[in-house]
C-alpha cells in the first residue's frame, strides 16, 4: 500500500520560534494532502487542504499566516508553525488521498511549545 | 458542529469477547466510512472501511456494519485481544473522484482485559 512519511515525530520548541513539519508520499504522487490537528480528547480537526502547485485551502478559524503550508511537489507538503505559542502544542498529522483509492496517514508530529 | 459522533469515550471488554464500538453521523451526504486505530504516540492506522452501497464489510476479526437509515455504523471485533487496546476513530467522507476530506469522531478508547 501507499506509504507516507511524516517528520519529525516529536518536537519541542521555544515560544516564538517556528517549526516545520514535513509530509512525504514515498511511493505515489499526491496532488492533495490534508493537514489535521488533534487536541487532547478531541477529534482530528482539519486545518487545511494542501494542493500541489497552488495555495492551500484553510478551514475557518485557522490562521493562514501562522500555519504556512507549502506543497511544491507531488511528493512533499510542509506545514510551518510560525511564532509558536504554548497553545499551538498539539498533535499534527498529514493525510494523503481521499479519492477512490483511500487514505494514507502520516505517523503524526507531537509539537510541544515551551 | 460535530458531524461524526462517538458517544462512548471508553469501553472495557474481556479478552475473547466481542467489542462493539459505535459511531453516529448527521451529514446524509457522507457515503464512505472508515475506522482507524491509534496507539499512544503513533499515528492512526487504517482498519476497515465501508461504502454506503453496502451494509456490512468484514475483514478477519473486524466487521463494520452500516445502517444508513439510522445514520449509524459500528465496528465489531471478535474475538477481542489485548493488542486491540487502543483508541478507535470512525471517520466519514464523500468521495467524488477528487480528494475529499475526512471528518472524524472523537474516538473511543478500548481496553481489552485479560
Using one digit for the tens of pLDDT, what is the confidence trace for B41-62? 777 888 999 999 999 999 999 9
Whether residue A12 has pLDDT greater than 90 = yes
Could you tell me the sign of the dihedral formed by the alpha carbons of A31, A35, B9, B3, in that order?
negative
Whether residue A101 has pLDDT greater than 70 = no
Whether residue A71 has pLDDT greater than 60 = yes
Q: Which member of B45, B97, B99 has the closest CB to residue A97?
A: B99
For residue B95, the model assigns a pLDDT of: 65
For residue A15, the model assigns a pLDDT of: 97
Whether residue B97 has pLDDT greater than 60 = no
Q: What percent of chain A has pLDDT over 90?
A: 63
Give how far Cα B57 sits from Cα of A11, A19, B33, B62, B93, Å.
39, 41, 11, 8, 17
For residue A30, the model assigns a pLDDT of: 83
The neighbour count for residue A87, using CB atoms within 10 Å, is 9
Show which of residues 16-45 on chain A sit within 8 Å of chain B, judged by CB atoms: 31-32, 34, 36, 41-45
Whether residue B83 has pLDDT greater than 60 = yes
Q: What percent of chain B has pLDDT over 90?
A: 76
Question: How would you class B60 by CB atoms within 10 Å of its CB: exposed for 0-12, middle for 13-18, buried for 19 or more?
Answer: exposed
Residue of B nearest to A96 (CA): B99
Q: Which member of B91, B95, B106 has the closest CB to residue A99?
A: B95
Average pLDDT, chain B: 92
**Interface mutation target, options A105, A106, A110, A112, chain B, most CBs of B under 10 Å:** A105
Q: Which member of A43, A99, A102 has the closest CB to residue B104?
A: A43
Contact yes or no for A98 and B95 at CB 8 A: yes
Contact yes or no for A99 and B98 at CB 8 A: yes
Contact yes or no for B99 and A99 at CB 8 A: yes
From the CA of B91, how many Å to the nearest CA of chain A?
10
What value does the mean pLDDT take over residues B63-90? 97
Average pLDDT, chain A: 90
Which of A109, A92, A108, A104 shows the shortest CA–CA distance to A30? A104
Whether residue A59 has pLDDT greater than 60 = yes
Contact yes or no for A34 and B49 at CB 8 A: no
Preceding omega of A31 cis (within 30 degrees of 0): no
From the CA of A41, how many Å to the nearest CA of chain B?
7
Quick check: A79 contacting B, CB < 8 Å?
no
Quick check: A58 contacting B, CB < 8 Å?
no
Quick check: A92 contacting B, CB < 8 Å?
no
Contact by Cβ (8 Å): B73, B84: no
For residue B100, the model assigns a pLDDT of: 78
For residue B14, the model assigns a pLDDT of: 97
Which region among A32-41, A62-71, B5-14 has the lowest average model confidence (pLDDT)? Answer: A32-41
Whether residue A25 has pLDDT greater than 80 = yes
Residues of B in contact with A97 (CB under 8 A): 99
Amino acid at each position: 500500500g501507499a506509504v507516507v512519511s511524516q517528520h519529525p515525530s516529536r518536537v519541542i520548541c521555544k515560544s516564538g520560534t517556528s517549526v516545520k513539519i514535513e509530509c512525504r508520499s514515498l511511493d505515489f504522487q499526491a496532488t492533495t494532502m490534508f493537514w489535521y490537528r488533534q487536541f487532547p480528547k478531541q477529534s482530528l480537526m482539519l486545518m487545511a487542504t494542501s494542493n500541489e502547485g497552488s495555495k492551500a485551502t484553510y478551514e475557518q478559524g485557522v490562521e493562514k499566516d501562522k500555519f504556512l503550508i507549502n506543497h511544491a511537489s507531488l511528493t512533499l507538503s510542509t506545514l510551518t508553525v510560525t511564532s509558536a505559542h504554548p497553545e499551538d502544542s498539539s498533535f499534527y498529522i498529514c493525510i494523503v488521498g481521499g479519492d477512490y483509492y483511500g487514505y494514507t496517514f502520516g505517523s503524526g508530529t507531537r509539537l510541544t511549545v515551551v | 458542529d460535530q458531524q461524526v459522533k462517538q458517544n462512548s469515550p471508553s469501553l472495557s471488554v474481556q479478552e475473547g469477547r466481542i467489542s462493539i464500538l459505535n459511531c453516529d453521523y448527521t451529514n446524509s451526504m457522507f457515503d464512505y466510512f472508515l475506522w482507524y486505530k491509534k496507539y499512544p504516540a503513533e499515528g492512526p492506522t487504517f482498519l476497515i472501511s465501508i461504502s454506503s452501497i453496502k451494509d456490512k464489510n468484514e475483514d478477519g476479526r473486524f466487521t463494520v456494519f452500516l445502517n444508513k437509515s439510522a445514520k449509524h455504523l459500528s465496528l465489531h471485533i471478535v474475538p477481542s485481544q489485548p493488542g486491540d487496546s487502543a483508541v478507535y476513530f470512525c471517520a466519514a467522507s464523500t468521495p467524488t473522484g477528487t480528494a475529499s476530506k475526512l471528518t472524524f469522531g472523537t474516538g473511543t478508547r478500548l481496553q481489552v482485559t485479560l
